Structure 1
Amino acid sequence: MATVTRENIGLLNDKITVKVSQEDYLPNFDKAVKQFSKSANIPGFRKGMVPAGMVKKMHGPALFADEVLKTVEKELTGYLQNEKLEIFAQPISMDKEAKNLDFNQPSEYAFDFEVGLKPAFEVSPLESGKTSLTKYKIKATEKEVDEEVSRLQLKGGKMNEPEVIDNEDNVLSITFEESDAQGNVVEGGIKKDNSLLLKFFSPAIQEQLKGKKKDDSIVFQLANSFDEERLGMILKDLGFDEHDKEAAQKYFKLTLTKLGLIEKRELNEEFFKEVYPNEEITTEAAFREKLKSEIEKYWESESRNRLHNELFEVLVHETPIELPKDFLKRWLQTGSEKPKTAEEAEKEYPNFDHQLRWTLISDKLIRDNKLDVSFEELKESAKQKLLGYYGAGAALEGADWLDSYLDRLMQDEKFVDQTYREMVTQKLFDWAETKVDLKEEEITAEEFAKLPHKHHHHEHE
């Protein structure tokens, strides 16, 4: 009769030994041989009439090993279920060499496995008074509203083709050609077409370009022609790394192939209706107020994302959880389709550890606090995603095709699972917000963008 024993070999790390004797696996082996003889196609024998001895001679070792291992797996699985052991991943075999399983000499076999046990823990950062965080409230400035009004006016405007460059909003169609400082084009060098607004260049280059016409050219050095952010984008567009300091020193000949200037749209009811088809906006003041609320809504979402990220970091790094690190590193080596070296597992472990802690914490909080998402909530979320995607808002409400499309979407297991995980995680963060001391602080978008990101080192002691 099979026996299963367990002994502790380290922190949250146990060894499980499964012993099986002949009576445990031989009946199944004999049954497998009979089954095989019924279905085997072997030249010289009618189907279903292959002698058991012939089957054993040809396929016995494989069938025998298969039945022994199946018996061991069944005993191990049954033990884990009966003992209600909460383990990480799967058991790892501790047997370094393959066992000599000989069906001509069946005997008792012992197989050793190791398991990593999930720890018991409390989420102490959410205990009263333990954690204080700041929730930022960002008010839209007049400048931000002005910029958004201007952007929308340009977006819907008509493109004209002026004779010369005379406006910072001129659209320049240009050809970049790698050259020397005198403008001599490098043979085999980089050549790339692009479109940029005049105001994207540095003030000095803008002055050089003003008054230029189609087919005119200038020579400039990349590093001196753009601010840091724009320089990175230009470098990437030219095929370099955005931080390539050597490439930033290169000279390029810039040739104007076309000039454009977008004629801004007038701020009237027709324009307001195009931007917000489902709103009754008749004045510039009301339009600006709507834009202001949209900008603040965006920053409210960004502020909440930041708060939730800080909550995530606090929970992961300040919740004391002991883990069987050595076991988990061994599992990283053997647990995926492609085996990893010890060095690869060591390198991957910090990120794995970080994510594992979050999985343990979030699963516990969701389970203990009965956080859930109903089917109706899932469907409503999917509906809002669709309305947002089509940008039609209330205009699509009640449309027949929308309901049938939603019904099909809700039968997509992958979509439903992903949406459920997003929503239950959101509920978890919303709930966790109520368990920490929150201080609200009003700042500008510029100040918010400069806030340092709180990020801990991944390694845990």
Structure 2
Amino acid sequence: MNITKEQIDALNAVVTVNVAKEDYAPQVDKALQAYAKTANIPGFRKGAVPMSLIQKQYGKTVLLEEVNKVLQSSLNRYLAEEKLDILGNPLPKIDENFNWDAENFSFQFELGLAPEFKVDLDAKNKITHYKIVADDTLIDEQVARIQKQFGKLISKDAVEQEDDIRGVFSNEEKGINAEANITLDIFKDKKAAKKFIGKKVGDVVTLKTKGLFDDDHKLMDYLKVSHDDVHGLDVEVDFTIEEINTSEKAELNQELFDKLFGEGNVASLEELKAKIKEDAENQFATQADQKFLNDATEHLLSNTKFDLPSEFLKKWIQTVGEAPLTPEQAEAEYARSENGLRYQLIEGRVMADNNLQITFEDLKAFTSEVIKKQMVQFGQLNPTPEEVEGIVARVLSNQEEVKRLSEQVMSEKMLSLFKEKLKAKTKEVTYQNFIKESYGE
């Protein structure tokens, strides 16, 4: 066996694998002997078929199988020993004159090589890490929402200003048929709100979508129209009233506090507001971190420059799916996936440069926290360590779950590293201002 590499350029190489008869002949002979013992050929007893007939019937198939096995194992071993960092898989070069009747064979494979590059993690003041605070308005709204949610529901005959209304938005032409629960304060158009006053179950209120809400994107929530359709949508919709309710607000007392947060954990309105603020800001921190991680990713993609073996990758893309792609399809797929590939390489380099690794203890601790949060959501506020450990063990016995959770653990490690290294500026904002600055909406 002789393997050589020709370096075409920094990103492309060709490996030649020369396979001699002695590299594969013993395996071919052994396979043919096995066929001879089991072959069922008319006119011969099982195990008594002449080797010449076995060779004639199975020889070429066995030769191809065994040479391919030798070829693949030798090539994989060579790539590992030479520590070649390749992209995709080796692509065999087609030889129209290849002769399987020869004793010695020569195979060539194209390689796409990963580029050499450095990642600069100094992005001083180029990225913003938001600190989102829950302001008094948000907290007061949440208190009112809690009082309403846990209040006594009272059915009514006719709509008044503060009522909850359940019904269906419809417009046959636009295919709108959306169930919705509304209150009259959702409408920017006060004339629209007035149309509901005094209406009863079964009545239909016709509304114009243009200017109906303070933000056209709310049409997505209430009418279930697509994002592409919401801007400037100017049609009439019917709202058929199916139910009218009002609620008697729940009293802010110890019984309600215990129901919300467990016995004795909150004992006053001030403590309730403090708990709401804490919980809200914990949720906001997750959104702010995700925004920061996305911005860091975009920054690194924009500022880490390197070439890729693009022509090789386009050829490789043609071969990896269930069905082969045309060159045009592969070109389009490469354009879609290029940034993803670039970031995989950047992320891999950052992990290697900073020795980021996932231990089993990391994975176990992360999974345990995930399980605890899920149990709290289902009302299990104080699960025992044994209960949590049992669930963690079951989750980590599933390889798909292990892969998914490992990606989340690494994402957290990358986030911590970026916070430390990228030297982002910190900006304190309310949630509404965070949405405006992040998405311009």
Q: TM-score, normalised by structure 2?
A: 0.89
Output the amino acid matched with 2:159. Answer: I
- SS of the residue aligned with 1:66? helix
Give the structure 1 partner of residue 26 of structure 2.
27
**Residues 49/250 of structure 1: CA separation in 2 closer, same or farther (3 Å cut):** farther
Give the structure 2 partner of residue 123 of structure 1.
119
Output the amino acid matched with 1:31. Answer: K
Deviations 1:43-78 (A, max 9, x none): 433332222222222222211222232232233223
Task: Tell me how far 1:191 sits from its aligned partner.
Answer: 5.7
Task: Tell me how far 1:284 sits from its aligned partner.
Answer: 0.7
CA distance in 1, matches of 2:169, 2:422: 54
Give the structure 2 partner of residue 18 of structure 1.
17
Output the amino acid matched with 1:5. Answer: T
CA distance in 2, matches of 1:176, 1:98: 70
CA distance in 2, matches of 1:15, 1:319: 27
Task: Tell me how far 1:13 sits from its aligned partner.
Answer: 0.3
Contact 2:375 2:383 in 1 (8 A): no
Output the amino acid matched with 1:403. Answer: E
Give the structure 1 partner of residue 376 of structure 2.
391
Return the match for 1:174 from 164, 167, 174. Answer: 167
**Residues 199/32 of structure 1: CA separation in 2 closer, same or farther (3 Å cut):** same
Contact 1:235 1:248 in 2 (8 A): no
CA distance in 2, matches of 1:25, 1:4: 15
Contact 1:396 1:402 in 2 (8 A): no
CA distance in 1, matches of 2:177, 2:397: 50
The farther-off stretch of 391-400 and 158-167 is: 391-400
CA distance in 2, matches of 1:255, 1:138: 39
Residue 418 (str. 1) matches residue 424 (str. 2): no
Residue 272 (str. 1) matches residue 261 (str. 2): no
Residue 429 (str. 1) matches residue 411 (str. 2): no
**Residues 373/325 of structure 1: CA separation in 2 closer, same or farther (3 Å cut):** same
CA distance in 2, matches of 1:258, 1:138: 37
**Residues 122/399 of structure 1: CA separation in 2 closer, same or farther (3 Å cut):** closer
Any gaps of 5 or more consecutive residues in structure 1?
A: 180-185, 455-461
**Residues 190/431 of structure 1: CA separation in 2 closer, same or farther (3 Å cut):** closer
Aligned ranges 1:364-379 → 2 under 5 Å: 364-379=349-364
Give the structure 2 partner of residue 450 of structure 1.
436
Output the amino acid matched with 1:366. Answer: M
Task: Tell me how far 1:245 sits from its aligned partner.
Answer: 6.5
Task: Tell me how far 1:178 sits from its aligned partner.
Answer: 4.0
Aligned ranges 1:51-90 → 2 under 5 Å: 51-90=50-89
Output the amino acid matched with 1:73. Answer: Q
CA RMSD of aligned residues (A): 2.8
Contact 2:177 2:223 in 1 (8 A): no
Give the structure 1 partner of residue 334 of structure 2.
349
- SS of the residue aligned with 1:196? strand
Residue 325 (str. 1) matches residue 324 (str. 2): no
Task: Tell me how far 1:399 sits from its aligned partner.
Answer: 5.4
Give the structure 1 partner of residue 110 of structure 2.
114
Give the structure 2 partner of residue 147 of structure 1.
141
Contact 1:25 1:67 in 2 (8 A): yes
- SS of the residue aligned with 1:223? coil
**Residues 421/256 of structure 1: CA separation in 2 closer, same or farther (3 Å cut):** closer
Task: Tell me how far 1:228 sits from its aligned partner.
Answer: 0.8
Output the amino acid matched with 2:376. Answer: G
Give the structure 1 partner of residue 129 of structure 2.
135
**Residues 322/175 of structure 1: CA separation in 2 closer, same or farther (3 Å cut):** closer
Return the match for 2:217 from 229, 243, 250. Answer: 229
Task: Tell me how far 1:453 sits from its aligned partner.
Answer: 5.8
Output the amino acid matched with 2:167. Answer: I
Size of the aligned set, in residue pairs, is 437
**Residues 276/332 of structure 1: CA separation in 2 closer, same or farther (3 Å cut):** same
CA distance in 2, matches of 1:17, 1:223: 68
CA distance in 2, matches of 1:205, 1:329: 56
Q: TM-score, normalised by structure 1?
A: 0.86
CA distance in 2, matches of 1:10, 1:335: 24
Contact 1:123 1:319 in 2 (8 A): yes
Contact 1:6 1:14 in 2 (8 A): yes
CA distance in 2, matches of 1:135, 1:189: 42
**Residues 137/177 of structure 1: CA separation in 2 closer, same or farther (3 Å cut):** closer
Contact 1:175 1:194 in 2 (8 A): yes
**Residues 415/144 of structure 1: CA separation in 2 closer, same or farther (3 Å cut):** same
The farther-off stretch of 391-400 and 366-375 is: 391-400
Contact 2:157 2:200 in 1 (8 A): yes
The farther-off stretch of 295-304 and 41-50 is: 41-50
Any gaps of 5 or more consecutive residues in structure 2?
A: none
Task: Tell me how far 1:116 sits from its aligned partner.
Answer: 0.9
Deviations 1:141-199 (A, max 9, x none): 1110011112222222222112221124x2223244547xxxxxx9x986665443333
Contact 1:172 1:195 in 2 (8 A): yes
**Residues 157/312 of structure 1: CA separation in 2 closer, same or farther (3 Å cut):** same
Output the amino acid matched with 1:284. Answer: L
Residue 296 (str. 1) matches residue 281 (str. 2): yes
**Residues 189/26 of structure 1: CA separation in 2 closer, same or farther (3 Å cut):** closer
**Residues 429/402 of structure 1: CA separation in 2 closer, same or farther (3 Å cut):** closer
CA distance in 1, matches of 2:242, 2:381: 42
CA distance in 2, matches of 1:281, 1:214: 40
